[in-house]
Amino acid sequence: MTTPTTPATATTSAGSGPPAGSGAATTPRPERVARALVRDVALPGGAGTLALVTIDNGLDHTKPTTLGAAGMAGIAEALEGVRDRAAAGEVVAVGVTGKPYYLAAGADLTAVAAIADRRDARAIAELGHAALRLLGEMDVPTFAYINGAALGGGLELALHCTYRTVASDVSAIALPETFLGLVPGWGGCSLLPRLIGLRPALDLILTRPLANNRMTTAAQAVEMGVADVLLHPADFLEQSLVWTADVLAGRVAVRRPEPEDDASWDATIAAARSQLDARLHGARQAPYRALELVAAARTADRDTAFAAEDDVLTDLLMSDELRAGLYAFDLTTRKARRPAGAPAEDLAVPVRSVGIVGAGLMAGQLAVLMARRLRVPVAMREVDDERVAAGLAGVRSQVEGLVSKGRLSTDEGNRVLASITVSTDLGTLAGADLVIEAVTEVMAIKQRVFAQLEELVGEHTVLATNTSALSVGQMSEHLRHPERVVGLHFFNPVAQMPLVEVVRTGRSSDGAVATAFAVAKALGKTAVGVGDRPGFVVNRLLLRMLAEVAAAVEGGTPVRVADVALRPLGLPMSPFALIQLVGLPVALHVLRSLHEDLGDRYPLSPGLERLSSEGRRVVPRPDGRGAEHAVDPDIQDVFGTPGRPGSLDEAGLRDAVLGGLAEEIGLMLDEGVVGSPEQIDLAMILGAGWPFHLGGITPYLDRSGWAERVLGRRLLPPGVADVPRG
């Protein structure tokens, strides 16, 4: 029990270890253990004494507070002491806040990943409820003062309180569990819909996590009803205490939405399930399990609802889906910050100006991004005045769009426009520290561009190509200084796609490669170093997948069957929708290039060639009802009569794709395209939207048995991205 010795000043810390008999086999790293620091505060105006509980981990503010078994046990111990004092009438309210910048950043994922069996999983699920429900069952009102990031269990802690204040500068409020393969299982699924209504609760629990884990700001949280009042961060705690006193005195009344009737509730749940089916096709279990818990929240009492959350959380804590999600999360956060194989950063050439050869769509996007993020002059070159005018118009349209959406201020938009020039004079690129060619994907043209640039630029200028599949080494083989050439493969749309493939040839210098990595980092991108092999990583694997699909359709598999065969994987879009997004001519160009370099594993498709020559779409134009995501059945005519002998069904085509991908990844690793399967997964997640719940691509090939079937081995060690067996 925690009992302060002096009402205004005493501080007590709890949280040294898990409770006896908890079954928690994994204790979070000591520096991560959350502590509950309790002190008494006199509320303004003589309103009484508030017990203020501060969640802290004893580190500086740059280290987030996370909630593991030891931390939750400590919070429970502190709150039990506060509960006893509230029952004795010693305090009139309880407040909970965090250290600077964090309320709490959710569960300690290192501990979650180490949970070994269902007993341990059940223990952490029940411990979370046991600790946090104390806030909702005090004899006095409880207040959460959300002073910083409140994620997952951190937000659930606040939801258990009676009232919530939030600092206006908080930008990270979320329930990201379904993004990773869990559910908000410490009260989130049952408390939130009752607090703010079903639709906004589903937005926080499902829609935002599935939209690449989109955060909620403080202002949005107040608008939704998650928090009750928005306060200035400068004196946030002081104003929160004033607001608390006003609530206790009845000067402030907080209104909650009226409960929804059964028919409305059921209709909303049914619509949400239909949306999940349309997007996920049952490929992931966590979002569906979360929806089941939310659906039951209307009528379930607290004990029943929390027990159901314990059941689901236990199941998911022991699921491959979660382990794959945690693996993917670690790849895209911690490991992405230290790119494998990157040379020392101090070898990079300082980039004070950029040149771009070309002013088309990709070149214009690169120019705007570089001008925004690097804040340097960007000179673009085109071959004639008509293309110059089109390039300038494209740049202006981009910037005006960013300003109109509020992503750039008017002044910043004007600065970006003023820093970008387009002309027909190649000489304008002479002083650039980095020049990127973004011209037509024809080897002879790219070689000619590099030859011209070599005569023009300084000896320390780094030359880069944005090629998506061609050999960077071949482009530079006739240069006097091929060591200055690297690949910088951006993905379309440039501003949104987080991946850059940094291509190193056999002659690229460490300085040139270091410069490419440094530029990618400065642009806010994640760089993956790749070898100079056809298609690099992302395009090589995506085209292998599309080649298998196209070959099956050429062989008689109906286009409708081919379009849905991969749905059980939960990919972001169907094969034909992907072809339409990339552009059929572009996809065919890359396919021809890979066919020429890699042979019959990438067979050509006469049917797709005919569609391209006729200018036909492979999926219908958007109609606002989702038709743009399904293949146009009318394209069947270019592939002949479906159902011929040897044609594949959905399962057969799926097997062909997975076997082909396993084969290709094995070859890529043998060729040294990347140094490890993890780099392939990172590239596919960030460059192709490969799902988190699969862990990228190699964990799924391991779990499904395809890696061993095709390669005779797993790609990752057991337990890295799945639950250890045996």
Give the C-alpha separation, 40 to 613, whole Å.
Answer: 77
Beta bridge partners, 165, equal: 145, 229
211 burial class (0-12, 13-18, 19+ CB within 10 angstroms)?
A: exposed
Give the rounded percent of residues in the chain with a pLDDT score beyond 90. 85
Cβ-contact 618, 584 below 8 angstroms: yes
State both tokens at 474. Answer: 């071949």
- Who contacts 395 (Cβ-Cβ below 8 Å, separation ≥6)? 359, 364, 367, 368, 417, 420, 422
Q: What class has domain 12-251+260-318?
A: alpha beta
Cβ-contact 244, 143 below 8 angstroms: yes
Neighbours of 225 (CB within 10 A): 18
* Per-residue pLDDT tens over the stretch 612-636: 999 999 998 876 555 556 899 999 9
Identify the helix (H) or strand (E) that includes residue 504: strand 499-504
Give the per-residue pLDDT at 426: 95
Residue 5 has pLDDT above 60, yes or no: no
Give the C-alpha separation, 40 to 53, whole Å.
Answer: 9
CA distance to 155, 204, 550, per residue, from 225 (Å): 13, 12, 50
Give the C-alpha separation, 191 to 115, whole Å.
Answer: 26
Domain ranges of the chain: 12-251+260-318, 345-531, 552-672
Average pLDDT rounded to a whole number, residues 298-302: 93
| Closest-CA residue to 324 (of 708, 678, 705, 707) | 678
695: left (phi over 0), alpha (psi -120 to 50) or beta: left
Average pLDDT rounded to a whole number, residues 658-682: 97
58 burial class (0-12, 13-18, 19+ CB within 10 angstroms)?
A: middle
Mean pLDDT rounded to a whole number for the chain: 91
Average pLDDT rounded to a whole number, residues 536-540: 97
Residue 24 has pLDDT above 80, yes or no: no
CA atoms within 13 A on the CB side of 491: 25
Average pLDDT rounded to a whole number, residues 220-245: 97
Q: Which residue has the higher pLDDT, 596 or 69?
A: 596
Give the per-residue pLDDT at 113: 82
Give the C-alpha separation, 695 to 721, whole Å.
Answer: 7
pLDDT category of residue 114 using cuts at 50, 70 and 90: confident
Quote the Cα angle for 535-537-542, to 5°.
75
- Who contacts 312 (Cβ-Cβ below 8 Å, separation ≥6)? 183, 185, 289, 290, 292, 293
Give the C-alpha separation, 117 to 26, whole Å.
Answer: 11
Ordered alpha helix ranges (H), 188-261? 188-196, 198-202, 208-210, 218-224, 236-249
Give the C-alpha separation, 65 to 106, whole Å.
Answer: 8
Q: Please identify which residue in the block is written with the tokens 């804590």.
A: 317
| Closest-CA residue to 171 (of 106, 216, 110) | 216
- For 374-399, b/e burial (b = at least 16 CB within 10 A) is bebbbbbbbeeeebbebbbebbbebb
Q: Please identify which residue in the block is written with the tokens 């089109």.
A: 390
What are φ and ψ of residue 679, in 5° steps? -70, -35
* Per-residue pLDDT tens over the stretch 140-195: 999 999 999 999 999 999 999 999 999 999 999 999 999 999 999 999 999 999 99
Residue 41 has pLDDT above 90, yes or no: yes
| Closest-CA residue to 103 (of 41, 34, 154) | 154
| Closest-CA residue to 571 (of 474, 658, 469, 442) | 658
CA distance to 11, 223, 329, 465, 646, per residue, from 653 (Å): 64, 47, 29, 35, 11
Average pLDDT rounded to a whole number, residues 502-520: 97
Give the per-residue pLDDT at 12: 31
Amino acid at 275: Q
Give the per-residue pLDDT at 20: 29
Q: What class has domain 345-531?
A: alpha beta
pLDDT category of residue 7 using cuts at 50, 70 and 90: very low
Give the C-alpha separation, 69 to 19, whole Å.
Answer: 8
Give the C-alpha separation, 400 to 414, whole Å.
Answer: 9
Give the per-residue pLDDT at 205: 98
What are φ and ψ of residue 648, in 5° steps? -100, 145
Residue 18 has pLDDT above 50, yes or no: no
| Closest-CA residue to 151 (of 199, 207, 89, 216) | 216
Give the per-residue pLDDT at 35: 83
| Closest-CA residue to 691 (of 550, 567, 576) | 567
Quote the Cα angle for 205-211-215, to 5°.
65
- Rounded to a whole number of angstroms, the CA Rg of the chain reads 28
**Residues that are catalytic:** 156, 177
Give the rounded percent of residues in the chain with a pLDDT score beyond 70. 94
The DSSP result for 361-385, as a single string, is HHHHHHHHHHHHHT---EEEE-SSH
* Per-residue pLDDT tens over the stretch 425-442: 999 999 999 999 999 999
Give the C-alpha separation, 508 to 488, whole Å.
Answer: 13
Average pLDDT rounded to a whole number, residues 679-700: 95
- For 573-606, b/e burial (b = at least 16 CB within 10 A) is ebbbbbbbebebeebbbbbebbbeebeebbebbe
Beta bridge partners, 229, equal: 165
Give the per-residue pLDDT at 33: 62
Give the C-alpha separation, 436 to 360, whole Å.
Answer: 13
Cβ-contact 34, 65 below 8 angstroms: yes
CA atoms within 13 A on the CB side of 84: 9
Q: Please identify which residue in the block is written with the tokens 């981009």.
A: 398
CA distance to 37, 171, 188, 631, per residue, from 174 (Å): 24, 9, 11, 35
Largest CA distance in the chain: 86
Amino acid at 377: P
Give the C-alpha separation, 91 to 98, whole Å.
Answer: 20
Q: What stretches of 110-240 adopt beta strand conformation (E)?
A: 142-146, 149-151, 163-167, 173-174, 229-231
Give the C-alpha separation, 528 to 501, whole Å.
Answer: 5
Give the per-residue pLDDT at 718: 87
Cβ-contact 619, 633 below 8 angstroms: no
CA distance to 36, 38, 82, 369, per residue, from 77 (Å): 9, 11, 9, 51
